[in-house]
Amino acid sequence: MEALNPSLETRESELVQKAGAGCREAFYQLVQPCERVLFASAMAILNNEADAEEAAQEAVLKAFTNISRFRGECKFSTWIIQICINEARTKINKARKYLYESIDEPENGEDGDYFPRDFADWREIPSEALQRKELREALQRAMASLPEKYREVLILRDIQHLSIEETAQVLGIGTGNVKTRLLRARLQMRDALAPGIDGNWSLGRQEYAKVRAW
Amino acid sequence: MRVIEISCLEVWKEISNFIDNDVEPELRARMEAHFKVCAHCTAILDGAHNVVKLVTDGVEYKMPDGFSRRLYDKIKDK
């Protein structure tokens, strides 16, 4: 677990104490830096803005009610993201009981080996590529198409930059599973995106001529 | 020093850890040697690298307008 630097740790601990005594302002000061990651974590699971906002709000209120249970063994942000993820999972499981996915999945519970769909070459991202609407849309589509368990790891690691250990803790899984899911997520995203961009990077390279248009 | 060969399958399993600089030096050397001679695995590596870059730079979960205010109000009214 990544440690806070001593001054931040003291500050966080003071705010937690005040929040525990019922100070809402102190609690909001703790929550405010986590707003974005709370929303993104809930979005990873629910894929719907309104539901994600509701889950984040419910998580924050639950955290306030239970602040006395926060012992400072991890960062406040890790603790509250964990609550938010549980809240989002409860919400989605209510909506789709048949798709229930246990968070007590065993460490080696991932599927078999990964095989790339193809070997389309993708050496460089054109600097202007991200400005293009079609790439941004393809990126969003590829994210949305990932299985939930891969999407949440990708968001926590590559967008919110949590460490492997923090990601494992908030998701309630082992670090080995985090790494496996991250591998799957990144490679499935590559499968979805590599043969695209504008399709012309394979020109002149017969061996990588298999290109799918978006 | 002779670097012991590694299969494509083993490389794919570790490619994400390779990107995160989370492989032992010995394995890293074997993978680097493999990338020098295997165009397919190099294509997978470049693609996975680009995914990380694109996701990091290009995916944004923008909070809905008024999110912070509504959250603050919820806390205040609790």
Tell whether A24 and A73 lie within a shared domain: yes
Total domains in chain A come to 2
Residue A109 lies in a domain: no
Task: Walk along chain B (78 residues) and give the pLDDT tens digit of each residue.
Answer: 667 789 999 999 999 999 999 999 999 999 999 999 998 898 889 888 888 888 887 777 788 999 999 999 999 988
Residue A159 lies in a domain: yes
Each domain of chain B, given as residue ranges in start order, spans 8-77
Minimal Cβ distance to A190: which of B20, B44, B74:
B44
Which residues from chain B sit within 8 angstroms of residue A187, using beta carbons? 12, 15-16, 44, 48
The interface pTM score, or ipTM, of the predicted complex is: 0.86
Global pTM reads 0.75
Of A99, A119, A154, the one marking the end of a domain is A99
Minimal Cβ distance to A189: which of B17, B55, B63:
B55
CB contact under 8 A, B51 and A60: no
State the CATH number of the domain containing residue A49: 1.10.1740.10
Tell me the DSSP string of chain A. Answer: -PPPPHHHHHHHHHHHHHHHTT-HHHHHHHHGGGHHHHHHHHHHHH--HHHHHHHHHHHHHHHHHTGGG--SSS-HHHHHHHHHHHHHHHHHHHH-GGG---TT--TT-S-S----S---------TTGGG-HHHHHHHHHHHHHS-HHHHHHHIIIIIS---HHHHHHHHTS-HHHHHHHHHHHHHHHHHHHTT-TTS-TTTT-GGG------
| Min Cα–Cα distance to chain A from B2, Å | 28
Tell whether A135 and A94 lie within a shared domain: no
Task: Please give the average per-residue pLDDT across A114-141, as a whole number.
Answer: 68
State the CATH number of the domain containing residue A175: 1.10.10.10
Of A80, A99, A118, the one marking the end of a domain is A99
Q: Is the pLDDT of residue A60 over 50?
A: yes
Look up the domain containing A95 and give its range: 6-99
CB contact under 8 A, A159 and B61: yes
**In this predicted structure, which of A47-56, A76-85, A108-117, A173-182 has the lowest mean pLDDT?**
A108-117
* A to B CB pairs, distance under 8 Å: 127
Q: Most B CBs within 10 Å: which of A65, A131, A184, A189, as the mutation test of the B interface?
A: A189
